[in-house]
Amino acid sequence: MTEYGPHLYLPIYCFMKNFLRYILPVLLLSLLFSCVKDTDFDQLQEVVLSPNIEVNLLFFEINSNEFIDPATGIARPVLSDVTDIPFLDDSDTQEGILKADFLYEFENTTSIDYQATISFKSGASSVMYALDILVPAGSIGNPQTHVVIDEIDVPEIYQITQANKIAVSIDPMGQLPTDGSLKMRSKATFYFEIDGQ
């Protein structure tokens, strides 16, 4: 402890002494004599909440050499991946969603365009909703950023809520480049309405 240590405790001691002597009795008396208005708990059914929930969906980086199969040396025409989206499985969640905004942001540092297909699926093969995006070419020195916002309202939002998987496929539109990469990140904002029933 430094030579200034004991002086630090003096203000705390004074505060606690005054709090116990003056402030605490006033607080207790105000609680005893306060009025409470009658509460109608039936009004709870009339309450409507409208929260917005933002979630990250997919993100990836594909280097240009990943379109070549390392075992065979042959070019792959399409790269694809599927991810579970279990947060839409709940029936209350499905019924409460009014709309959703999906943001897809790409950064292309390769010399060719890409066709990206985002699919919301139910099960292994049933496509509930799909979106095709053309990602323009860029270069390592001049990356091309491409942003797409997909606003989904009724009735299409019901197709999204029936999905339990999201799939993305990337199709190169030209001769495969020797360098560069394609990056993507995505997120969704869900708009809910929850009533008190």
Please report, in tens digits, the pLDDT of each residue of the chain (197 residues total). 444 444 444 444 444 444 445 555 665 566 555 555 555 555 545 555 567 889 888 899 999 889 888 888 888 889 999 988 876 666 766 777 889 999 999 999 999 999 999 999 988 789 999 999 999 999 999 999 999 999 999 888 888 888 889 999 999 998 888 899 999 999 999 998 866 55
Strand 144-152, strand 97-108: pairing? antiparallel
The closest of 164, 168, 165 to 183, measured between CA atoms, is: 168
Contact residues for 116 (Cβ-Cβ < 8 A; gap 6+): 104, 106, 132, 133, 134, 135, 168, 169, 170, 171, 184
Q: Which domains does the chain have, with CATH numbers?
A: 5-35 (no CATH), 44-195 (2.60.120)
pLDDT for 13 equals 43
Strand, helix or coil for residue 188:
strand
* Residue 27 to residue 54: CA distance in whole angstroms: 41
Q: Which two tokens stand for residue 99?
A: 């709309």
pLDDT for 158 equals 86
pLDDT for 2 equals 42
pLDDT for 36 equals 55
